Every structure is written in structure tokens, then in C-alpha cells.
A = this chain, B = another copy of it.
């Protein structure tokens, strides 16, 4: 038996759980300025896409598509931004962000623009529920 997967503490603090897909934990980033999900492959010691084996990468890209479609359906966004950066938190995670031509960062990426605005709890719960309902069960 391998060691159990443990979510990075900073990712855990900055986000709320939505769903667990076969490969990825899907979570809502706590920033009400942007509908912003993160996906964390439940694999130990991964930092970059090339650390995953090809079978996991094939699952990941289709889970990204599933999550992207759910986010687009809920938000009716203008554009999706999908990225794996990992400069601050090294544990492999994928950002899936709904963008609008009138959001506060457009057309820049969302990172390093202004300051995080936390959701009110009921607002966050509504978003979590909406995304969960839009994901395949």
C-alpha cells in the first residue's frame, strides 16, 4: 500500500470541496471576483504534468473538459482560462477559471491582480452547489 494522498495545506485553506472525480479533487477557490475552480490529481509527489503517467494525463484532460463545461454552463462565461503553474504551491493542481470581458482583471490573467475577495458563506455554498449539480453524477 502507498501513502495516502494529502491535499496541500494552502490549497485546502484557500478553497472549498465540490466533488471528487476518478482522478481529481475539484474545489472552489475562495475568491468571489472570479468563478475559479482548482483540480488536484489524487497522486503523491506530483508537481508538473510530466510527472503524471500517460494514462493519468489522458484522464486529467477529459476531467478538465468535464469541469470546464460545468463551469461554463453555470457561469455563461466568455472564455475559460486553464493553467497549471505551481510556482507558489508545488503540489500539482490545475486552475479552471471563468472569464468575462468585464471582470476586474480582463484581459490579464487573474493571478497577481488586486486582492482576493472572500465569498460570503451562503454565496460560496450556492456556487459549490451549482457546480456540483452541473457535473456528471
Contact = CB atoms under 8 A, between A and B. Distances in A.
Interface of A: 47-50, 54, 57-58, 60-62, 64-65, 68-69, 72, 79-88, 90, 99, 106-109, 111-113
A85 B34 CA distance: 14
Contact of A99 (B87, B106, B112): B87
A56 to B, nearest CB: 10
A116 to B, nearest CB: 15
B65 A50 contact: yes
A84 B80 CA distance: 8
Given A108-B111, A111-B108, A112-B109, A64 B49 contact: yes
Contacts of A113: 112
B79 A87 contact: yes
